[in-house]
Amino acid sequence: MFADISAHNLTYDIIMADKLYIFDTTLRDGEQVPGCQLNTTEKIEVARMLEALGVDVIEVGFPISSPGDFNSVLEISKAVTRPTICALTRAVKKDIDVAADSLRMARRGRIHTGIGVSPQHIYNKLRSTPEAIIESAAEAVRYARGYVDDVEFYAEDAGRADNEYLARVVEAVIKAGATVVNIPDTTGYCFPEEYAAKIAYLVNNVPNIDKAIIATHCHNDLGMATANTLAGVLAGARQCEVTVNGIGERAGNTSLEEIVMALRTHPAYGIDTEIDSKLITKASHLVSSLMNMPVQPNKAIVGRNAFAHSSGIHQDGVLKQRDTYEIIDPQDVGINESQIALTARSGRAALGHRLELLGYKLNQPELDSTYEKFLDLADRKKEVHDYDLLYLVGDLERVQNQTIKLKYLQVTTGTLMPTATVVLKFGSNERMAMASGNGPVDAAYAAIKSLINETVVLTEFLIQAMTRGSNDVGRVHTQVKCGDRLAHGYSAHTDTVRASVESFIDALRVLNVTEKPEGN
Ligand code: KIV
Ligand code: ZN
């Protein structure tokens, strides 16, 4: 059942079965975000993930900007062979020399050179003239073609450039040998219609446009990056420049996962990518954890709540027939099951389903009375976890065995090696452990890990102050992985180390981890 495109009352000249190239710039535009910098080893890990994901081009860095960026392009060129490896430059010969050198090991290398084309860039930043910019642009492309066959030109701030002038720039750089022409909305300024009109103008007015691929590169300052990119694609662009989780300067870039899944959920447009969508969640977690950039819970496709149905009506609908409220099967993006969070708004169907997963098949009167108790508890607690449900259905013995409680915590920190002593209560049994770490939280987590019978990995750790001041309450969100199960923990306390430990234990409870047998 496809959407009827004509019903949208828009006419696009180019609607055809076509491949859309995915150009990932997580490691270049994404990495420009303060605090997101990665070392070469971490960049290689991300590049390997992007290769597995199926991206066509990986923009690795801006080699003239630092030895680290140069080295990353060189090393990733060796480590990753299928995608094209791209290096950014200004329209400056020295930049291009260095980029070409960094790409010398690439099986397929691309130089991405460019210059500003909006009045703001031409007159204020570059203190130049429109004609001189066209000359510099063409000259840079010609020079880069002396090194590689694949040269992409970016018309920086094309979003605010005059379309007629932009068309002249694009014609000149294609004539000089550009294989891809990138039309960035650098400041995230355009409306989708405006951006689509810009691409359509180039398609219809640049005589040699058939000799190059048009690329979109949209920033999200007004929250329209994905809409603008899709509008550009429908108007004829065939390369999208994106980042995983939409990370990037200021409000970020177009997010890879949104473009891929928007096109997959609308096959009637006949445009698709070669991305293996089942790896999207994995790639999102990798980028988020390596770059210390938590994904907002309500982020489309990869946010924690993207497939969580907390309202009773929605939960009932999803359990009866998934597509009632989900337009994407969570499995298609690598999530095993909709993570249905039980809250005060959850209905009987969701409660019954969760209890069934825990091994309890209740008849209607039993479910009704448990539901009363559940609502009472859910009014007091934000989210009701599995161990709370076990308590509700009266399985106190199992609760005793599965509930982990923090009985005692003592940390020492400062200039010497931080250490932690932790006493946990598993049911009625108390266990103590000591450990050191690179900080008090790391030490406490190591002590806790030594007391449990499963190998768990902390995959996300987010600490936020509620308001401000040193006496503030710290909120800690954790995400913990155990095999292929993921759980989220939460705690808040004025003692942030304690909140961190409680949050970790909260996630361990959800995962139902139990105590390690004594002596092991
Ligand atoms: O946003 C932008 O204009 C860019 C270019 C350097 C491609 O990132
Ligand atoms: Zn950019």
Ligand 1 midpoint to CA 279 (Å): 27
* SS3 of residue 263 by DSSP: helix
Q: Give residue 353's pLDDT.
A: 83
With respect to CATH, is domain 8-290 assigned 3.40.50.150? no
Taking the C-alpha atoms of residue 82 and residue 84, their distance in angstroms, rounded to an integer, is 7
Which own/partner pairs from 295-300 qualify as long-range (CB within 8 Å, at least 24 positions apart)?
A: 295/245, 299/245, 299/246, 299/255, 300/226, 300/255, 300/257, 300/258, 300/261
Judged against a pLDDT cut of 60, whether residue 403 lies above it is answered with yes
* SS3 of residue 74 by DSSP: helix
Q: Which ligand is nearest to the CA of 65?
A: 1
Structure tokens at 506: 């909260």
Q: Which atom belonging to ligand 1 lies closest to the Cα atom of 112?
A: 7
Ligand 1 midpoint to CA 116 (Å): 9
Q: Which atom belonging to ligand 1 lies closest to the Cα atom of 241?
A: 7
- Ligand 1: does its nearest atom lie under 6 Å from the Cβ of 154? yes
* SS3 of residue 137 by DSSP: helix
CB 371 within 8 A of CB 351: yes
What strands, in cross-sheet order, belong to the sheet with 419-426? Answer: 404-412, 419-426, 429-436
Residue ranges covered by each domain of the chain: 8-290, 308-394, 402-511
- Percent of the chain topping pLDDT 90: 61
Taking the C-alpha atoms of residue 20 and residue 47, their distance in angstroms, rounded to an integer, is 20
- Ligand 1: does its nearest atom lie under 6 Å from the Cβ of 29? yes
Q: Give residue 2's pLDDT.
A: 33
Q: Give residue 310's pLDDT.
A: 55
Q: Which ligand is nearest to the CA of 248?
A: 2
Region 9-25: what's the mean pLDDT?
67
Q: Which atom belonging to ligand 1 lies closest to the Cα atom of 25?
A: 8
Judged against a pLDDT cut of 90, whether residue 184 lies above it is answered with yes
Taking the C-alpha atoms of residue 99 and residue 84, their distance in angstroms, rounded to an integer, is 14
Q: How confident is the model at residue 171 (pLDDT cuts 50, 70, 90)?
A: very high
Instruction: Give, using CA atoms, the residue closest to atom 2 of ligand 1.
Output: 186
Judged against a pLDDT cut of 60, whether residue 66 lies above it is answered with yes
Q: Give residue 326's pLDDT.
A: 80
First to last CA, the chain: 57
Taking the C-alpha atoms of residue 385 and residue 10, their distance in angstroms, rounded to an integer, is 47
67 phi, psi to nearest 5 deg = -60, -30
Q: Give residue 467's pLDDT.
A: 46
Q: Which atom belonging to ligand 1 lies closest to the Cα atom of 182?
A: 7
Pocket test for ligand 1, best of 120, 154, 183 (most atoms within 8 A of CB): 154
CA distances from 448 to 273, 400, 435, 458 (A): 44, 18, 9, 12
Q: How confident is the model at residue 244 (pLDDT cuts 50, 70, 90)?
A: very high
Judged against a pLDDT cut of 70, whether residue 513 lies above it is answered with yes
CB 87 within 8 A of CB 103: yes
Q: Give residue 465's pLDDT.
A: 62
Structure tokens at 383: 């989210």
Q: How confident is the model at residue 3 (pLDDT cuts 50, 70, 90)?
A: very low
Taking the C-alpha atoms of residue 168 and residue 155, their distance in angstroms, rounded to an integer, is 11
Please give the CATH topology (third level) of the domain spanning 402-511: Double Stranded RNA Binding Domain (3.30.160)
Q: Give residue 419's pLDDT.
A: 96
Q: Give residue 472's pLDDT.
A: 59
- Ligand 1: does its nearest atom lie under 6 Å from the Cβ of 95? no
pLDDT, tens digit (0-9, with 9 covering 90-100), for 88-100: 999 999 999 999 9
Q: Which atom belonging to ligand 1 lies closest to the Cα atom of 88?
A: 6
Place of tokens 């304690």: 498
Higher-pLDDT residue of 17 and 148 is 148
Q: How confident is the model at residue 8 (pLDDT cuts 50, 70, 90)?
A: very low
146 phi, psi to nearest 5 deg = -65, -20
DSSP secondary-structure letter at 256?
H
Judged against a pLDDT cut of 50, whether residue 439 lies above it is answered with yes
Q: Give residue 9's pLDDT.
A: 40
Q: Give residue 173's pLDDT.
A: 98
**485-493/474-482 β-pairing:** antiparallel
- Percent of the chain topping pLDDT 70: 88
Q: Give residue 428's pLDDT.
A: 83
Instruction: Give, using CA atoms, the residue closest to atom 7 of ligand 1.
Output: 154
Judged against a pLDDT cut of 50, whether residue 338 lies above it is answered with no
Q: Give residue 520's pLDDT.
A: 66
Ligand 2 midpoint to CA 248 (Å): 8
- Ligand 1: does its nearest atom lie under 6 Å from the Cβ of 59? no
* SS3 of residue 178 by DSSP: coil
Q: Give residue 256's pLDDT.
A: 98
Longest pairwise C-alpha distance within the chain: 81
Taking the C-alpha atoms of residue 511 and residue 514, their distance in angstroms, rounded to an integer, is 9
Pocket test for ligand 1, best of 90, 125, 156, 187 (most atoms within 8 A of CB): 156
Q: Which atom belonging to ligand 1 lies closest to the Cα atom of 253?
A: 1
Which of 114-128, 218-232, 340-354 has the lowest average pLDDT? Answer: 340-354
From the centroid of its chain, how far is CA 195? 24
Taking the C-alpha atoms of residue 72 and residue 38, their distance in angstroms, rounded to an integer, is 10
Instruction: Give, using CA atoms, the residue closest to atom 1 of ligand 1.
Output: 186
Region 292-313: what's the mean pLDDT?
80
Ligand 1 midpoint to CA 304 (Å): 29
Region 139-164: what's the mean pLDDT?
98
Structure tokens at 273: 């990518």
Instruction: Provide CB contacts within 8 A for 6, sequence distance 6+.
Output: none
Structure tokens at 203: 């398609």
CB 174 within 8 A of CB 212: yes
Q: How confident is the model at residue 312 (pLDDT cuts 50, 70, 90)?
A: low
Taking the C-alpha atoms of residue 317 and residue 309, their distance in angstroms, rounded to an integer, is 10
Region 262-282: what's the mean pLDDT?
95
- Ligand 1: does its nearest atom lie under 6 Å from the Cβ of 440? no
Judged against a pLDDT cut of 70, whether residue 396 lies above it is answered with no
Q: How confident is the model at residue 352 (pLDDT cuts 50, 70, 90)?
A: confident
Ligand 1 midpoint to CA 113 (Å): 10
Region 20-30: what's the mean pLDDT?
98
- Amino acid present at 107: R
Q: How confident is the model at residue 236 (pLDDT cuts 50, 70, 90)?
A: very high
Region 253-262: what's the mean pLDDT?
98
Q: How confident is the model at residue 85 (pLDDT cuts 50, 70, 90)?
A: very high
Instruction: Provide CB contacts within 8 A for 34, sequence distance 6+.
Output: none
Q: How confident is the model at residue 12 (pLDDT cuts 50, 70, 90)?
A: very low
Higher-pLDDT residue of 464 and 10 is 464
Q: How confident is the model at residue 86 (pLDDT cuts 50, 70, 90)?
A: very high
Instruction: Give, using CA atoms, the residue closest to atom 5 of ligand 1.
Output: 156
Region 250-273: what's the mean pLDDT?
97
Q: Where are the alpha helices (DSSP H) in 122-217?
A: 130-145, 163-175, 192-205
Pocket test for ligand 1, best of 115, 217, 218 (most atoms within 8 A of CB): 217
- Ligand 1: does its nearest atom lie under 6 Å from the Cβ of 62? no
- Ligand 1: does its nearest atom lie under 6 Å from the Cβ of 217? yes
Quick one: which H or E segment has residue 335? none
Q: Give residue 33's pLDDT.
A: 84
Q: Give residue 359's pLDDT.
A: 65
Instruction: Give, using CA atoms, the residue closest to atom 8 of ligand 1.
Output: 29
Q: Give residue 313's pLDDT.
A: 64
Q: Which atom belonging to ligand 1 lies closest to the Cα atom of 158?
A: 3
Q: Give residue 489's pLDDT.
A: 78
Q: Which ligand is nearest to the CA of 113?
A: 1
Instruction: Give, using CA atoms, the residue closest to atom 4 of ligand 1.
Output: 186
Structure tokens at 423: 């006493």
Please state at what angle helix 192-205 crosses helix 163-175, rounded to 10 degrees. 50
